[in-house]
Structure 1
Amino acid sequence: MTLLLFPELPSEPPLPLAWPVDHSPSRLAVTDANRAAAAWLAAPALWPVPVTLLIGAPGSGKSHLAGWFAAHHDGLVIEAADTHEPERLFHAWNAATPARPLLLTSQRPPRDWHHGLPDLASRLAATPLIRLGEPDDELLGLVLAKLFTDRGIKVGDDLIRWLVVRIERSLGAAQAVVARLDAEALARHRAITIPLAREVVDGQGEMGF
């Protein structure tokens, strides 16, 4: 049984419902921004050791890829690994096997963890590390379109393009703006259009969310 340890999501804006997440291969948004990372996570049997560390800034898509990885491989995912007890990471690393690989995520590389456990440091030094940059326009647009579709909302490509250049460049911001637009549209009995998006995004300050 796969164990997912995701960090706590931002408290605002609240999600009115627990929307299901589709982790099927065809629904994974892949662009040049995350193509190499997605290809690596798709083939854990080819890893030199059964552990990988995924590094990226907040909103870069670590949780998105970790969730997809967990849905397709009988492994363990530990997010924000640098915040966990070093002994737990050490034992998880030792327990990983090709049949049950381990994926760690963090905002920081291991040299900045300051855990003070030499045995863990040696194992992390032998662990493949892949990095995610900020989402590019294509990835942000694909994610926005997927989030609207997951909620059963049809929007035009013009709205997606409008949002891409106005919200913060993170997948968390994409989730937040879609949730807020959905809530506002329901409350106002309006369709989600650029005029509504302008009201909502401009109301959140520069660059939206």
Structure 2
Amino acid sequence: MTVLPLLPLTPQPPLPLDWQPRLGEADFFISDANRAAVDWLARPAAWPMPRVLLIGPEASGKTHLASLFAARTGARIIDEADTRPDGEPMFHAWNAASAVRPLLLAARRLPRGWAHRLPDLASRLAATPLITLSEPDDALLAAVLTKRFADRGLKAPPELVQWLSLRIERSFAAAARAVALLDEAALAQRRELSVPLARALFDTQLDLGL
């Protein structure tokens, strides 16, 4: 179910703040939802070819995980590969990949749903090893909520994270939306992050599908 639009209590809405997500090794939380992908990227020397597809839902940590892999290996990363209508650069990158510089293509959709229309690229992608990120389990959802608050310079009380974890849809997109709404509400109403603030925003809903 979609959350009702946020209505700030102050007459002037807060200005959006510029914030950058933390993308360090310590900021990537490993659980059963992503462990297989992490393990695969930890041993590129054992791959059958120096190429891999990383598939996962919106906001699942694909860019974060890919950037960590690139920092360790010097790999070439093509993010949002499924949305790129021009397949030629990906085709050439696939052919140029090597053990010295492997290729990681990150996307939300499986290759058959990608925007390009190159048969030669499609055949190569079909033969490329594929690893996936699943929607978060309980432990990962709580960690993602905590990190998203921290990315915005906010320290969320543990009881708030627990309250949200039990009520929002178990998806990365829902976690991102819930944190954004709470941040906006806290600024607009000049209140601290808390369970009462979250309840005032969300308890009129049957769930937080967002």
Considering the TM-score relative to the shorter chain, is it more than 0.5?
yes
How much has 1:59 moved relative to structure 2?
Answer: 4.0
Contact map agreement 2:56 2:108 (CA 8 A) in 1: yes
The farther-off stretch of 189-198 and 160-169 is: 160-169
Closer, same or farther in 2 for the Cα pair 1:198/1:69, shift >3 Å? Answer: farther
TM-score (norm. length: structure 1): 0.80
Match of 1:207? Answer: 208
How much has 1:39 moved relative to structure 2?
Answer: 1.9
Structure 1's unaligned 5+ residue stretches are 1-11
Match of 2:10? Answer: none
Match of 1:132? Answer: 133
**% identical aligned pairs:** 55
* Equivalent-residue separation in structure 2 for 1:184 and 1:146 (angstroms): 18
Q: What letter is aligned with 2:81?
A: A
Q: What letter is aligned with 2:39?
A: A
* Equivalent-residue separation in structure 2 for 1:204 and 1:44 (angstroms): 46
Matches of residues 8-19 of structure 1 in structure 2 within 5 Å? 16-19=16-19
Q: What letter is aligned with 1:19?
A: W
Structure 2's unaligned 5+ residue stretches are 7-13
How much has 1:189 moved relative to structure 2?
Answer: 1.9
For residue 131 of structure 2, give the secondary structure of its aligned residue in structure 1: strand
Match of 1:179? Answer: 180
* Equivalent-residue separation in structure 1 for 2:183 and 2:143 (angstroms): 17
How much has 1:71 moved relative to structure 2?
Answer: 4.3
Alignment RMSD: 2.7
Equivalent pairs counted in the alignment come to 198
Structure number with bigger Rg:
2
1:163 aligns with 2:183: no
How much has 1:142 moved relative to structure 2?
Answer: 0.4
Closer, same or farther in 2 for the Cα pair 1:98/1:193, shift >3 Å? Answer: same
Match of 1:25? Answer: 25
Match of 1:53? Answer: 53
